[in-house]
A and B are shown apart, each in its own frame.
Chain A
Amino acid sequence: MKARFLMMLVIVGALLSLVSGAVVAQDETVTGDLEVFSWWTSGGEAAALDALFAAMNASYPNVNIVNATVAGGGGSAARPVLQTRLAGGDPPDSWQVHPGWELFGQYVEPGYVAPVNDIYESEGWNDVVPEQLREMMSRDGNIYLVLAGVHRGNGFWYNKKVLDEQGITLGEALSVDEFFAIADQLQAADITPLCVGDSGIWATAQLLENTLLGVLGPEGYRGLWDGSVSFNSDEVKAAIAVYGRMLDYQNSDHSALSWDQAVDALMEGRCVFNSMGDWAYGEFVAAGKEDNVDFGWVSHPGSEGSFMVVADGFPMAAGAPNPAAAAGWLKAIGSVEAQEAFNPLKGSICARTDCNRESFGPYHNWAMDSFGSGELVATVVHGTAAPADFQQAMNDAVTLFVVDRDVDALAAALAEAAVSAGFASE
């Protein structure tokens, strides 16, 4: 009897969830303005943001969305505006943030954002958002961010046609040694193996970050950011040496190119491999290249089984002008419907594990597998794993390393910056 009753409950519950999944619940009681602040203004980004607004309109038809967009590369123009408004006590309801230190250092510590634990509980997100991801947004048991999508940072893209011509086929994964063997073979054929565009230094810093992950493994890589692995240790120096060896294979005009021009160089066959997050995938699609015909991908050498998280999220402002609408906004962007609409446009995958795979292409299905089963680790280049002052010190040290290749000096500079940033002891 009891078992049958439970069975009934399960069935009713399943039916209810089906219904709520099919028909978006509308809440007409929430009214007023909702101000969302972002710097997504370029084509694909703006379209993706509109998809989130559409999801918001569908659930809360009586809320008027104010899109407070400030144009300017990577938020360099928007962030000072936002900072001024927050410091002046005139916050927008919600804005665009990367998880981790960018969230904690810029917004949680000064008290500009409010915890959203109740939304995670009421929406049941604790079951669908991976724990390793939630940890990147949580401090002292409070969670402060709702993610709209996740990029995978440790991609290793290649020009498949050039490799085919050289008779090289890659397997599911690429080890560091295999990469160097292929690189030597390519160089012998007078082909530049590695594409780098470091006119914005973060692109080569990302190559270092991916190499640290590939050589140290996810445990060792995480240890860098909690202080348990020292940047002065032999294994980190070995990883930096691998990074330096990879730079020996890069294009000579690297410092004149931006990251996307390096992807262009890859497509044109001027060089073969490029270590970049999957926003590079958008460049291939925009150029009309075909998956697994013109270009292919593996994880950055040695980093298969790990997923470098570069995520986009929105917090709730502390003292938001319209808290009901802000809560509605977060519920809307965290929903399956919104994420399935947003992510194909943004070129990322859902920040939850229950999205419909059919709305995504072959690359993103591959990334979803990695997201569901892999170790999730935090990017430092995009502000998650370490505070901004460490990030700046790392960029400075890498700028020098690219030219003088002094492994000990880079390790020492990173170690010193980690102490100064407060996440490692002397």
Chain B
Amino acid sequence: MENTRASSASAALAAAPRRKRGTPVEQRQSFLFLLPSLIAILIFVYGFISVTFYISLSNWRSAAPNWTLHTPLFEIYADLFSNTRFQIDLRNTVVFTLLFITMAVLLGLSLAIIIDYNRRWFAIPFFRNTFLFPYALSFIVTGVAWRWIFNPETGINLFFNILGINNLLAAQGMPPLKPGWTTDPSVVLSINNALSAVIPAAADWRVQLGIPVAIIPVAIAATWQLSGFVMAMYLGGMTTISMELREAARIDGATEWQIYRYIIIPSLAPVTISVIVILLHVSFKIFDLVFAMTGTGPAFATDMPSIFIFEQMFKGNKYNLGTAASIVMLILVALIIIPYLRSQRRGEDS
């Protein structure tokens, strides 16, 4: 939510001078008013990013600061990318992002359509708020609750006993259904063998490029928390689609499904882009949910770059390695956010 607020605020800022440039005196005044925050941002954002980048090139690897530069200069980054754990983390980020965003967008859109479609029967505010409530919770709370739910001994696995599924399987002479969930270290759909046809070394990689099973429950928990937010964004977008448009379609003989398929969902495309960008940076930076729910997971199956940074810096005192990973994360997020902001700006200028 904060981000939408921030982006609309920055959009307003960008828009302001275009409407009215003002006299030179006014311009100087507005610059003076902006100056304190400019200085603060220069120091506390860009200054600290620069210091972080400098540390990532230094020899600082203990509790006491060491500001000498490491030679060769970018070796820390080479170390980072050859670190098996970090390779796994990058894989996890990609897999988690794909799973989480797909599920959250589909579920959020479905909820929005159901509520929108049933606007006469359902009390819209009631269901909108019910689905939005998880978003108000802290990720830590969500993580702890879902850790209990997916505990293989005491969680939802008990339902397989209660519902008699395991008795049924036992009668067939089959082993009971007892998934390990977050404790399962296996990686499914690994493409290493397929890749090795192109890159022969892929067969020997320690990191399996596939879907770590343990990350699926984490993606489910994140989806549970954020799909309500996605739904609210879509519901907001739907209110901007005029009733006349729907009526016109109905008069032309479109079914309700066709109205959603060909009119409402296509007109929601800008909302979808905003939703995906917001979810992407949640997903890239996710820490608290994973930390509370699974930690690093078996064989780092649920480890994330943010946890890597935390442990290397504050447990291992490897400040140079941790800051190098932070810079990589910053670049990854920037790769998503900067094109988005630029496209937003272009939309305003035209």
Contacts and interface: CB of A to CB of B under 8 A. Distances in A.
B270 interface: no
Interface residues of B, number: 27
A404 interface: yes
B312 interface: yes
Contacts of A199: 295
B318 interface: yes
Contact of B299 (A252, A391, A399): A399
A262 B261 CA distance: 54
Interface stretch (B59-67, B108-116, B279-287): B59-67
Interface in A393-426: 393, 396, 399-400, 402-404, 406, 409, 420
A256 B182 contact: yes
- Contact count band on A: 20 to 34
B62 A392 contact: no
Given A105-B63, A389-B317, A403 B311 contact: no
A333 B312 CA distance: 34
B185 A403 contact: yes
Which of B62, B84, B183 has its CB near the most chain A CB atoms (within 10 A)? B62
Contacts of A253: 152-153, 180, 183
A402 B298 contact: yes
Nearest to B301: A403
Tell me the interface secondary structure of chain B in the complex.
Answer: loop
A110 B317 CA distance: 13
B91 interface: no
Given A255-B298, A389-B317, A389-B318, A105 B62 contact: yes
Interface string B302-316: 000000000110111
A388 B321 CA distance: 14
Contact of B315 (A105, A107, A252, A392): A392
A351 B315 CA distance: 27
B311 A389 contact: no
A54 to B, nearest CB: 33
A43 interface: no
Nearest to B208: A404
B317 A201 contact: no
A399 B206 CA distance: 13
Given A80-B314, A253-B183, A392-B311, A400 B62 contact: no
Contact of A391 (B152, B295, B316): B316
B296 interface: yes
B288 to A, nearest CB: 14
A69 interface: no
Return the 3 tightest CB-CB contacts between A and B, nearest first: A392-B316, A403-B299, A110-B64
B183 A255 contact: yes
B316 A400 contact: no
B316 A388 contact: yes
A109 interface: yes
B300 interface: yes
